[in-house]
């Protein structure tokens, strides 16, 4: 494949420049891009750009090309490029439609600006967040594919095959997730060392007033104090994001293996707290989730499966409320049982709908937005624990779900 002529000025530009087709194959590139990719330019022609970037950046690279073709121009796409025996290089790209031949389909031109991650603390954090974004995109795409596959397999009564598929996907997502979590831990530990080093520089320059004044001016110009304050918030928020993804992956694994062994004496209130935290993130702004937990003894159960039941009930309650209302999650001790309760102020259900609740494939959601399996699976989990799942509802007065589990 012959490379396109991009002109002498671009060919000798100091910033990396590439031309891609709609499938991300490289049609042309300059010397700066070849240096960035650490390969001869001739070897890169016709290669997929998505195969050259870091695995965490592949989804974003494909989206960048697609958006440039649709919108005409797109900005600020941060992609990681692996380097032999060195940390990846983070490059921010601007891309636009490139009409190199009226007789051919438009291509995409992109110019990049490498960020010096070795000396810029902000670039280090951006690189870590970019990896997290890549993992999120991968999880979103995998989740969408799973939903489509689930409908097909349910209709053909192949739920066991679906369980195997979900388990495999959850395992694959766990690998990059662990990588991101480890990087965040490293960054959190390094920040303190960098802050101490910054303070030491100030102490050393105190004996030279001119140098001290220049250093203070540089700090002010760069807003160093604001950067430290922002980093103190961003790193914990990123860790929280990783923890939420891990909880979703665990829920998928629980769904795939509902009969997995592993009962233990569990603190159900702690499980309720973590599950509510996950559900609250997906609730609309007008939906309030309140918690009222009583003292409970430890219950021998599979806590992951019980958390999945509560999460299913919470999701149903959130969807019933649409954009406004209240959900109360509570727990109490009732004879030989502990009782977990999810009550909402939604529209409720009539007697006919309530009678069919829990039937496999029965759903009140619009066609294509629900499989009708959530309550059926939750009821099965409750029964395998020797308990039961009860519902009460009146049209216009909300719905109450009660999960009863035996203490012994």
Residue the block writes with tokens 């308990």 = 387
pLDDT at 101 over 50: yes
Q: Within 10 A of 250 (CB to CB), how many other CB atoms are there? A: 15
- The mean-pLDDT minimum among 13-27, 42-56, 91-105, 150-164 falls in 150-164
Average pLDDT of the residues in 306-315 = 88
pTM above 0.85, yes or no: no
Tens of pLDDT along 52-96? 998 888 999 999 999 999 999 999 999 988 887 778 888 999 999
233 exposed, middle or buried (CB, 10 Å; 0-12, 13-18, 19+)? exposed
Distance CA 27, CA 21 (A): 7
- Closest listed residue to residue 239, CA positions, set 285, 277, 187, 281: 187
Q: Is the pLDDT of residue 48 over 60?
A: yes
Q: Sheet containing 286-293: which strands, arranged edge to edge?
A: 286-293, 324-334, 337-344, 399-406, 388-393
Work out whether strand 286-293 and strand 324-334 pair parallel, antiparallel, or are unpaired: parallel
% of the chain residues with pLDDT over 70: 81
Q: Mention every residue, 6+ apart, whose C-beta is less than 8 A from residue 183.
A: 128, 131
pLDDT of residue 2 exceeding 70, the answer is no
Q: Which residues pair with residue 388 across a beta bridge?
A: 404
Least Cα distance to 275 among 320, 317, 337, 322 occurs for: 317
User: Please, are residues 379 and 358 in contact by the beta-carbon 8 Å criterion?
Assistant: yes
pLDDT tens sequence across 115-133: 764 445 565 677 778 788 8
């Amino acid at each position: 494949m012959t490379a396109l002529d991009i002109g002498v000025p671009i060919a000798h530009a100091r910033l990396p420049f590439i031309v891609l087709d709609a499938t991300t194959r490289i049609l042309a590139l300059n010397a700066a891009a070849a240096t960035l990719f650490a390969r001869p330019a001739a070897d890169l022609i016709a290669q997929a750009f998505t195969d050259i970037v870091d695995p965490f950046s592949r989804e974003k690279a494909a989206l960048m090309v697609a958006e440039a073709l649709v919108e005409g121009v797109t900005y600020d796409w941060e992609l990681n490029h692996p380097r032999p025996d060195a940390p990846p290089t983070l490059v921010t790209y601007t891309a636009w439609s490139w009409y190199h031949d009226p007789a051919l389909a438009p291509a995409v031109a992109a110019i990049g600006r490498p960020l010096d991650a070795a000396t810029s603390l902000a670039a280090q954090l951006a690189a870590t967040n970019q990896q997290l974004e890549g993992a999120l995109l991968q999880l979103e795409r995998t989740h969408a594919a799973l939903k489509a596959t689930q409908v097909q397999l349910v209709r053909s009564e192949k739920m066991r095959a679906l369980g195997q598929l979900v388990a495999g996907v959850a395992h694959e997502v766990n690998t990059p997730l662990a990588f991101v979590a480890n990087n965040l831990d490293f960054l959190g530990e390094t920040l303190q060392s960098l802050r101490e080093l910054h303070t030491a520089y100030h102490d050393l320059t105190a004996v030279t007033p001119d140098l001290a004044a220049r250093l203070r001016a540089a700090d002010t110009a760069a807003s160093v104090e604001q950067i430290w304050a922002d980093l103190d918030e961003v790193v914990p928020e990123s860790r929280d994001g990783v923890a939420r993804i891990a909880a979703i992956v665990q829920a998928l694994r629980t769904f795939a293996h509902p009969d997995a062994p592993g009962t233990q004496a569990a603190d159900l209130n702690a499980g309720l707290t973590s599950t509510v935290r996950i559900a609250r993130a997906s609730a609309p702004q007008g939906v309030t989730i309140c918690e009222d937990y009583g003292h409970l003894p430890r219950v021998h159960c599979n806590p992951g499966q019980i958390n999945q039941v509560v999460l299913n009930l919470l999701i149903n309650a959130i969807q019933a409320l649409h954009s406004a209302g209240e959900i109360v999650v509570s727990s109490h001790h009732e004879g030989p049982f502990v009782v977990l309760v999810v009550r909402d102020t939604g529209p409720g259900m009539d007697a006919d709908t309530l009678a069919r609740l829990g039937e496999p494939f029965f759903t009140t959601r619009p066609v294509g937005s629900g499989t009708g399996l959530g309550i059926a699976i939750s009821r099965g989990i409750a029964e395998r624990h020797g308990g039961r799942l009860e519902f009460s509802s009146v049209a216009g007065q909300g719905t109450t779900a009660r999960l009863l589990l035996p203490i012994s």
